[in-house]
Chains A and B, each alone.
Chain A
Amino acid sequence: MEHTEHLEHTETPSDMKSQIWKTFWILLAFTVVDIVLYFVLLSTHAMWKNWVFIILGVVKAYYIVGVFMHMKFEKKALMYTIVLPMVFVIFFVALMLIEGDFTNVLRWLK
């Protein structure tokens, strides 16, 4: 066999199946909350509203990465290697939103 790669992995919890379904219902519930909130807040103009949706997105991401992608059960070193670089994204978001605001001003100055 050419593929005799050694299999190293962290242990899967014994109740994985129930965890999967629990995560499914959580994701479904959060998506429904997203949609309901969208209509409830339809006439609201506010920055906090965007943050509500972003936070709900991050919570869903936590469950997908943690349970579905098994990250919760991996070694901490692997988790930090993958998750920490995403901090740069937060930095990038902040910079580009500031830049977007300036572009907005310039657009209406002309």
Chain B
Amino acid sequence: MATNTLTTNSKFTWGGGKSPFSVSYGKLMMWIFLLSDAFTFSSLLIAYGFIRYSFLEPIRNTIVKPFNHLSHEFVKEMGDVGLFVKDHWPSPELVFNHFPFVHGMHLPLFFVSLMTFILIFSSVTMVLAVEAGHRMAKDEVSKYMFLTIIGGAAFLGCQAWEWTTFIGEGATLHGNPFGPTSFAALFFIVTGFHGFHVFSGVMLNIIIYFNVLDGTYQKRGHYEMVEKVGLYWHFVDLVWVFVFTFFYLI
């Protein structure tokens, strides 16, 4: 808690005495930025909801069960049996059903669940880095920051693989074999925007990681910079919770 703020006022970034929110200027600004970013993502997800709601419900699949055999012509066959049509939104389990190194098997949502676990886990390592920062434990902070970077990079790798598979099946911004044109377009825009946030987060984490190794924050006397990138990183995880809900579950 601030007690001597007024006496050494000129040194501090936050003028005008005690901070009304008991957080530093930088952290408050990070929160305000995250709020505005939350609005941006909300708008994208609402646009998704609006467009999706303007099409008919997905036709429920009663043919393909999990672990079923998948043929090479799967997407075409689904079109032939009337599960992928222009008027109906496609059921996500029939679109996102691939897993790396497992060929020819219907594994709905397995891969995206793995991505979700990776991101949750990297959020945990991030918050452990913040916790270690409170104790001024430099080695622990750097260890957990490193694990967070690995988690973020793993998530990005997964997303690159998923996009490659999706594009390989014929999805573009202006058309796809699964159903309405906007289905793939929205997928690329929203997961792309989220992926770009993850990428920026990984870059920020790398910068902070090197600063930690350099002892910048040890000299400064606090690890608040780790907390700030931590806030951003958790926000990216938070957005993924909703992207996961709206794009894959609903």
Contacts and interface: CB of A to CB of B under 8 A. Distances in A.
A74 B234 contact: no
B12 A4 contact: yes
Interface string B15-32: 000111111111110011
A39 B24 contact: no
A50 B18 CA distance: 45
Given A24-B124, A28-B120, A96-B49, A86 B38 contact: yes
Q: How large is the interface on B (under 10, 10 to 19, 20 to 34, 35 or more residues)?
A: 35 or more
B24 A7 contact: yes
A99 B50 contact: yes
Contacts of B54: 100-101, 103-104, 107
Contacts of A67: 127
Secondary structure dominating the interface of A: helix
A43 B62 contact: yes
Interface in A10-59: 10-12, 16-17, 20-21, 23-24, 27-28, 31, 34-35, 38-39, 42-43, 45, 50, 53-54, 56-57
Given A60-B241, A85-B35, A100-B53, A5 B12 contact: yes
B60 A43 contact: yes
Interface residues of A, number: 60
Interface in B208-250: 219-222, 224, 227, 230-231, 234-235, 237-238, 241-242, 244-245, 249-250
A5 B22 contact: no
Contacts of A43: 60, 62
Contacts of B2: 6, 8
A17 B128 contact: yes
- Most chain A CB atoms below 10 A, which of B18, B26, B47, B238: B238
Given A24-B121, A24-B124, A68-B123, 6 more contacts: A7-B24, A50-B250, A57-B241, A86-B38, A93-B49, A100-B51
Interface of B: 1-2, 5, 8, 11-14, 18-28, 31-32, 34-35, 38-39, 42-43, 46-47, 49-57, 60-62, 66, 93, 108-109, 113, 116-117, 120-121, 123-124, 126-128, 130-131, 134, 219-222, 224, 227, 230-231, 234-235, 237-238, 241-242, 244-245, 249-250
5 contacts: A6-B12, A24-B120, A45-B57, A96-B49, A97-B53
Interface of A: 1, 3-12, 16-17, 20-21, 23-24, 27-28, 31, 34-35, 38-39, 42-43, 45, 50, 53-54, 56-57, 60-61, 64-65, 67-70, 74-75, 77-78, 81-82, 85-86, 88-89, 92-93, 96-97, 99-101, 103-104, 107
